Every structure is written in C-alpha cells, then in structure tokens.
Structure 1
Amino acid sequence: MTHSDVRESGGAWRAGGARRSGGADSTGVVRPPKTGELVARRLRRMIVEGELSDGDFLPHEAELLEQFGVSRPTLREGVRVLEAEGLVELRRGSRTGARVTAPGPEAVARPAGLQLQLGGATLADVYVARGSIEPPAARLLALTGDEERYDALRAALEHERGNLGDPDRFAVGSAQFHLRLVELSGNQTLAVMAGMIHEIILRQSRLAVREREERAPSIGQVHHEKALRSYEKLVSLVRSGQGEAAEGFWRRHLEVADELVLAGREATRVVDILD
C-alpha cells in the first residue's frame, strides 16, 4: 500500500458510496472502512503473502508512515487491529517495535471451543462433526499419490504402536493420528475444522480410557489393538490410492469407535469437558 493507495481507497468511498463493504451501523447503513482498517488490511496481506514472515519485525514506524501516507495515530490503530488478531506482538518500551507472530491452530481452537461452550454444544455434536470431516479427508489423501504424505501417516501409526501398554499415551496418540490424517489430506479448511475440535476429542478420549481402565484394563488393551488394526487398514487403503474405499472404511470405523468412546456421554456438554 502506497501513499496514494490509502487515500484512493478512502476517496472511492467518498465518491462512490458503498462500493466496498466496510461494515454496517445499527441502522443497517453500510459504512466505509476506517483508514486504520485499510492499513491493517495491507499489513495483513503482507504477512499472508509472505512479505513478512513469522518472527520478522514490521518496518520502522517512520518508514510505514511514509509508505502509507497516514498519521501516526492511524498507523498505530492499524497495528493494534493486527495485535488483536494475534498476527503481531507489540513490545511496549522496546525500540524493535511490532513482531510478526503467525498464529497456529490453537488460535482458532480457543475461540471455537468457547463458542461451542456458549452454544451448549454436546459431545455428540462434536463427534458428528468429526464423522463429517475425517472420511472425506481419507479419500483426499488417498488420491494425492503423495508418498511423503503416506509415509507421514505411517509414521503416526508407528508412533501410536509404540504407545501400546500405556493407556493415556495411547489416547493422546490416537487423537493425534486422527488430526494428522486430516492435516495430510491437503485440504486446509478441513484441517482447520479438525484442529478446532481436537482438544475436545483429546480430552474425551483420555477420559474414556481412564474410565475403561478402572473397570476392565484387559478390555482396554483389546480395544487398543483393534484400533491399531483399523489404522493399519486405513494406511494400506490410502497408500494404494483407494479413495472411495478409504472413505467408506473410515466412516464405518468412526461409527463403531465413537459409540465406544461416547457411551453414556452423548449429552455431555462441551463446557464440562473443557472446564
């Protein structure tokens, strides 16, 4: 964004009315974006497109003021927008300024988890969502023909095999295998959605494993060995490029596995799991 970029953006609103959507007030009238929002938009794009990478510092304030042709308060308003989004970290009292902090999946998961709590979502809701995310991801992964991705899924399986005999570690590894499957599918939207519910799945899995261990440890071991065989089957289907078969198999696996993990807890609220 240059000096003229910001001024022309604002001028377009003055001349052309609501040609861009900047928001609406309580009367429903669309308002133009503030100049600070336009600055934030340009800085955000620089981060998204890789002009600024995680750990980089924003250019010095004087340089940005000259580049954008805005006032110091307007520039700082734009930077504060990015701070609120978790895209930069401001170091008060430091001469180095604002540092880019590209957020990870947890940045999405936290507010998503809060929204599920506020909405009164149940575990049944979450597991139905997982059943809609993972099977298509299995198909997509199978169709990539990417041996490196197949190897990565196999590595997650072998890591989980090493967790046999330790119920809690197995529960953690299981949740991670499910998440890794979606991440490797190549579909970023599915990966974000899976990341949003990962913490809920993980906590419920660990809880179910602990309860099962208290009742019948030997049965728990049987379930874990059966789960591993299912993971092996999935890896085999994926590696052989059988997309439809992988999707169907994983859908059936989740139906059975979710019934075991959720037994008696379908109506449990997410807030009671994350609290």
Structure 2
Amino acid sequence: MHPVEANPSQFPQPEQLIGSVRATAAYELVVEQIRKSIFLGRFMPGDKLPPERDLAEQMLVSRTTIREAIRVLEGEGLVSTKRGAGGGLTVLQQNKLTQAEVEIYIEYQMDLLDSLFEFRIANEAAAARLAAVKRTDAHLEKMRKAVDAMDAICASAESRSVLTNISRFGAWDSEFHLAIAEASMNEYLLKAVEDSRAAMFLPVGKVFSRLEDRANEHHQEILQAIEAKDPDLAAEKMRQHLEATWESLTDLVPKARRKK
C-alpha cells in the first residue's frame, strides 16, 4: 500500500490564517477610554475632566498624546476646552434627538441594536446569576445606592421629562448594571458588560424623552433576587428587564417601517 502524499494546496496557507494588523496610536486609546467613561455616565454633562497634566500621569502617556485625544473628543462634540481661570475640559450635554431622527436611527441600526441586546442579555443574565452567589455586602450597597438614586429621579413626575434628569438616570442605570457585573467577580463578564453598555449608552440615552413609571421597578426586582441569593430568579429578572427595554426601543419605530 503506497503512502498518500499530502497536497499542500489542501491546507490553509499562512496568509489565510493571519489577518492584517494596524498599529493603534496612543491617542486613539486615550480617546476610546475617555469616550467610554462618558458613554457609561461616569462623567456627566457639565463635569470637569482632570487637567491635562493629571490625565497624562493617570494614563501613562505624554501630554502631547492627551492634546491629540482632546482634539478628537472636541470634534465629536463630547467635550469643550475653556482657557483661563475657571476653565478646563468640560463634558458637553448631548442634544436630544428629534422623534424623526430617533426613528431613522433605530430603523437603520435595527440589526446592530438587536445583536447588541442579544449580547447584553446573554452576558448580563450570566452576571446576575453569578452575582447572586458571589455578592458581598459592599456589592449590595453599591446596587442599592444606584436604585435609590433612580427612585429619587422618578419620584417627581415633572423631573421625568427633563433631559438632565434622564441623563442622570442613565448614568445611575449604568452604575447599577456595572455593580452587578463587578459582583459576578468575573473580569471577562465585567469587560463584556462595560463594552456593550458603552456601545448602547449614547443612542439610547438620546432616545427616551421621559422616564416611565416602571423604569426602576425591574432594577428593584433584580436587586431583591440577588440579595436573596437566588441565581435563577436574578438571571430571569435581568433577562425580562433587558427584553422589556428592547421592546420599548423598537416600539418607537412605526411597525410599517421596521425591517422584516
């Protein structure tokens, strides 16, 4: 019996296995990190970012790199720089989208948003399940603080339609979900939750014109399940919460114009 000779063409070639690599400039990494902090609500409109020198020291880059990053962020309308006394780098209020702009955005980004929510449901339900098992009193306190802050914002009917309060609610909403991810004590889940929420924060934060009566009830139910150390219930409540959020988002687009 003769040995069968391998045909090199049958195997993947090196160029098929290795994709191209693009070096990422340091300022791009700085832009990504600051942008992510703004999108997650860690910096609110009107907040001052640390001075240029402090940012350079914290991020272990040169002041020139920080200046390049600031120029990009200013071009995106996320921050503004004011010189002189009382000046500095300030986070700007993002203009609220009109109803027509909202519909167009969601209509043309439906597939992307759908994928993002699927990703969020999978990861955040898993995070809630683990948090119910691993959470500490410190984790619970952080979650309660966020829920109480959102309750206070929702308490006044008038405040629910004020753009600043909607932005504040969004920031505390992120704080709550990230606290759950931290309580999972899984760094990969935390990174996944951070990235997906950062991708969602700006468009969704611009979409809702007011906070609904039940906006915070789901958070309370999730917190209660985690506090009771019920992993199945915590995961289910998180899944229900995110599915309800997705429904609220898609309801903003007339059914006749939704992608099939």
- Relative contact order (alpha carbons < 8 A, sep ≥ 6): 1 or 2 greater? 2
TM-score (norm 1): 0.47
Pick the structure with greater CA Rg.
1
TM-score (norm 2): 0.50
